[in-house]
Chain A
Amino acid sequence: MMDIPGLGTAFVLQVKRDLQLAFRHVGQLANPLMFFIMVTTLFPLALNPMPRLLEAIAPGVLWVAALLASLLAAEGLFRQDVDDGTMEQLALSPQPLALMLLAKTIAHWLITGLPLVIMSPVVGYALFLPRDAVPTTMIALALATPILNLVGGSMAALTVGLRRGGGLLSLLILPIVMPVLIFGARATDMAMTGVDPAGALYLLAALLLLAVSLTPFAMAAAMRISLD
């Protein structure tokens, strides 16, 4: 009787596998990050580089750009695996699908979300974001980007394999992640004006906990519906 790996081992193996696969196409990895950087630098270019104006819109621009970048990333989260049949094998395996999809999403975040967090000081600099607001923004992004990836993953699972995808995925994700956008931008804004951003950050953390506990099951249910 073959040994079935324990949950923890299976989880880590899945994350590793996805990371290894992703690094084979390093070019594609960078897409969401490049998008994030481009969008945020387009604003200073398009508007006059007036520090006060840019500073005023910096939270909004930064957060919308992060949101759009995660939307872009969501598109490709499961497509490859569904296309080549790996997903079906995963669904049939003895490991809980919810856990495996969570693992995939975490790997996905490490590749597409974490870089955004790391790059945010640079992007903030281009947008004249005050130095004091940067740590808060990084924390808020670190909390928010996984939520975006988790919700993105749920909707991606729902729409995987559909020909006319495109705007549909964004339409599905945006309503659900609006609170994230609101609280994230609020946190940055609060840090900019010197108000303690703890409230907004706690709310983001709560949303993250909610997302981590619920979305894997939604993803698994959605994936099973899509694979049927």
Chain B
Amino acid sequence: MWTWIHKLGSPPHFYRIATRLTPWFGWAALLLIIAGIYGGLYVAPTDYQQLDGFRIIYVHVPSASLSLFIYVNMALAAAVGLVWRIKLAHAIAAACAPIGASFTFLALATGSIWAKPMWGTWWVWDARLTSELVLLFLYFGFMALRAAIDEENRADRASALLAIIGVINVPIIKYSVDWWNTLHQPATLSKLGKPSMDPDMLIWLLMMLAGFMCFFAAVVLTRARAEVLLRARDQKWVRQALEGR
């Protein structure tokens, strides 16, 4: 079992596996997202309160979920890299950041677009929106810190510490709608209890969520391969890996 874990940390092994898995995740993502968008826009019944405006949920909720999910992944990878000094973990954390920032931006933007017809305003400083904005700044800070440090090792470790410090924001975002009176509605999906959404509408949401997850997997594996190559320097496996392509 330790061999398996040790292998996981090996860049050439990771590179090979990532190359093989990426197309699978990529195609799965494409199918799920296309089906999800089609279903969400044309098959799901119209909401009696929000009319067709509610359809934005099919891009807003998956984006928001991914923004949190990716940050947690990033912080975990960062922690593993920091504590056990595994370069591959740092490579993965670095790969996560731009993707996470994109989804956070999307969550904020689609949320804002949705808010205009529903709440009458583009923005409100309630707990959830504010903490999601903070998440965007955390992603930017992570990327900016990396960019500011020339020396790779210090860049990895400093940004890893930053990611870990910022993780405290994630539960705040998640539970802000429970802890405070916010304008933003409470969670639609939770692990326990029935979802508060009609199954006819829910299925497309789950499909989009799954699609986004596969999308993240495909893109992060691609970026991680690039990061791993960057850190490889003079290692022989690079030649073999590139021949195989």
Q: Which residues of B contact A175 (CB under 8 A)?
A: 134-135, 137-138, 141, 166, 169
The residues of A that contact B154 with a CB separation of less than 8 Å are: 225-226, 228
The reply on A90 being an interface residue by CB < 8 A is: no
Q: Are A171 and B161 in contact (CB under 8 A)?
A: no
**Interface size counted on chain B using CB atoms at 8 A:** 21
Residues of B within 8 A of A176 (CB): 165-166
Is A174 at the interface (CB under 8 A from chain B)?
Answer: yes
A164 touches B162 (CB 8 A): no
> Of all chain B residues, which has the CB nearest A215?
B165
A162 and B130: CB pair below 8 A?
Answer: no
Contact with B along A188-219 (1 / 0, CB 8 A): 00000000000000000000000000000010
Quick check: is A178 within 8 A (CB to CB) of the other chain? Answer: yes
Complex CA gap A228/B137 in Å reads 27
Best-buried of A165, A171, A178, A225 by chain B (most CB within 10 Å): A225
Closest to B135 in A: A175
Q: Which residues of A contact B138 (CB under 8 A)?
A: 175
When each residue 102-138 of chain B gets 1 if its CB lies under 8 Å from chain A and 0 otherwise, what string results? 0000000000000000000000000000100011011
Is A119 in contact with chain B by the CB < 8 A criterion? no
Bound complex: CA A154 to CA B166 (Å): 12
Within 8 A of B (CB), among A163-192: 164-165, 168, 171-172, 174-176, 178-179, 182
Residue A159 is within 8 A (CB to CB) of chain B in the complex? yes
Q: Which residues of A contact B144 (CB under 8 A)?
A: 168, 171-172
B139-182 vs A: 1/0 string, CB under 8 Å?
01100110011000110011001100110010010000000000
**Inside 8 A of A171's CB, which chain B residues have their CB?**
137, 140-141, 144
Tell me the smallest distance from the CB of A10 to a CB of chain B, in Å: 25
Would you call the interface of chain A mostly helix, strand, loop, or mixed?
A: helix
A227 to chain B, nearest CB (A): 10
Report chain B residues within 8 Å CB of A162.
148-149
Asked whether B148 lies within 8 Å of A172 as measured between CB atoms, the reply is no
Min CB distance A155 to B, Å, is 8
Q: Given A171-B137, A175-B141, verify A218-B161 contact (CB < 8 Å).
A: yes
Contact check, A225 vs B141: say whether CB atoms are below 8 A apart: no
With A159-B148, A178-B130 as contacts: A221 and B141 at CB distance below 8 Å: no
Complex Cα–Cα for A178 and B172 (A)? 12
Binary B-proximity of A74-103 (CB < 8 A = 1, otherwise 0)? 000000000000000000000000000000
CA distance A181 to B135 in the complex (A): 16
Q: Does A222 contact B (CB under 8 A)?
A: yes
Q: Which residue of B lies closest to A179 (CB)?
A: B172
Chain A residue with minimal CB distance to B142? A172
User: Does A158 sit at the interface, judged by CB under 8 A?
Assistant: yes
Q: B130: which A residues are within 8 A, CB to CB?
A: 178, 182
What are the 5 closest A-B residue pairs judged by CB atoms, nearest first?
Answer: A175-B137, A175-B134, A225-B157, A172-B141, A175-B138
A residues whose Cβ falls under 8 Å from a Cβ of B? 154, 158-159, 162, 164-165, 168, 171-172, 174-176, 178-179, 182, 218, 221-222, 225-226, 228
Q: What is B's interface to A at a CB cutoff of 8 Å?
A: 130, 134-135, 137-138, 140-141, 144-145, 148-149, 153-154, 157-158, 161-162, 165-166, 169, 172
